[in-house]
Structure 1
Amino acid sequence: MTSNNDGPTGTTQHTCASPYLNSRIFTLRFTSTARGARLARRLVAVRLDEWGVPYGTEAHETVVLVAAELAANAVRHGHVPGRDFQLLLRVTDEARPVARIEVSDTRAERVPPRPGRLPEPELLEGGRGLLLVEALADRWGWCPRLRAPGKTVWAECALA
């Protein structure tokens, strides 16, 4: 796990423009391993609870599950040896709060299908992580990273 995003390789990149200005942000880089994905999930759970989205609520469980699936996908499908993945969690401070999860990896040639274009579950060769994300998130998508190789997969979940 690495923290601090001050260097050229660690700078938080908001390549998928988020419309939310008033928000709390947590971002951290994790090793591209199963252990890194588990730690990302746990830290998202802790941060949500600290920000007033308590453990055991539907909103908390949904955001944590979506974050876990995106982190697992970054490890499974976006892994490049020696490169970390980055997770960003943003929770808005608006009347109808939204949690936005962004997971960036460094593998540009393997991209997910666009939202709404996922194959039927019985046609999938691998897991069903993006089917869960599509079912649970209010919106999701992906975009290429602009200042580094790779892609960012993001999802938004209403917290109300």
Structure 2
Amino acid sequence: MATLLSLWKIPAATDNAVLIVSELLTNAVLHAPMTPIEFVATHGDGVLLVEVRDGSSIPPAINPGLDTEDLGSRGLQLVQALSSDWGWIPLAGSAKSTWAVMPVRGAQINP
């Protein structure tokens, strides 16, 4: 992810983007094991879209009763905090795409 953002000349977005992608991929591995997992990133018009597709139709959900002493289960909270928007859409079969959008405007874009 960091290399891709550097090639796209938006390296200032790297830390948040890497964390978001890591959380989305981790959720896919944990909740859709043994299914194909695909990562897609696109950017334009001042935004970065990251997307993880997996073979589970179960929607991702933030755990509202999360105990602050519990390890884990905070991935989607981080995604929500670091992105301007996030969500999921069903795909063909029993698959889904979980996505997040981040602004990459102004000082984040290197000439």
Match for residue 52 of structure 2 among 89, 103, 106: 103
Distance 1:148 1:46 in 2: 32
What is the letter of the counterpart of residue 155 of structure 1?
A
The aligned residue for residue 53 of structure 1 is 10
Q: 1:91 aligns with which of 43, 47, 53?
A: 43
Give yes or no for the alignment of 1:156 onto 2:109. Answer: no
Name stretches of at least 5 consecutive residues in structure 2 with no aligned partner.
106-111
Residues 133-152 of structure 1 aligned to structure 2 (within 5 Å): 133-145=79-91, 147-152=92-97
Q: Which has the higher strand share?
A: 2
1:80-117 per-position Cα deviation (integer Å, ceiling 9, x unaligned): x2x3201110111x2xx100011110011x3212xxx6
When the two structures are superposed, what TM-score results if normalisation uses the length of structure 1? 0.59
1:112 paired to 2:69: no
TM-score, length of structure 2 as denominator length: 0.82
- Inter-partner Cα distance in structure 2 for 1:125 and 1:50: 35
- Which residue among 42, 67, 70 is the counterpart of 1:122? 67
Q: CA RMSD in A?
A: 1.9
Query: Could you tell me the percent identity over the aligned residues?
Result: 33
Aligned residues: 104
Higher helix share: 2
What per-residue deviation string (whole Å, max 9, x for no partner) do you get for residues 46-70 of structure 1? 111111012xx3x221111111110
SS of residue paired to 2:99? strand
Q: Which 5+ residue runs of structure 1 have no aligned equivalent?
A: 1-43
Shift, 1:141, TM fit:
0.5
Q: Partners in 1 of 2:2 and 2:53 — Cα distance?
A: 19
Runs of 4+ that moved beyond 6 A: none
Higher relative CO (Cα under 8 Å, sequence separation at least 6) belongs to: 2
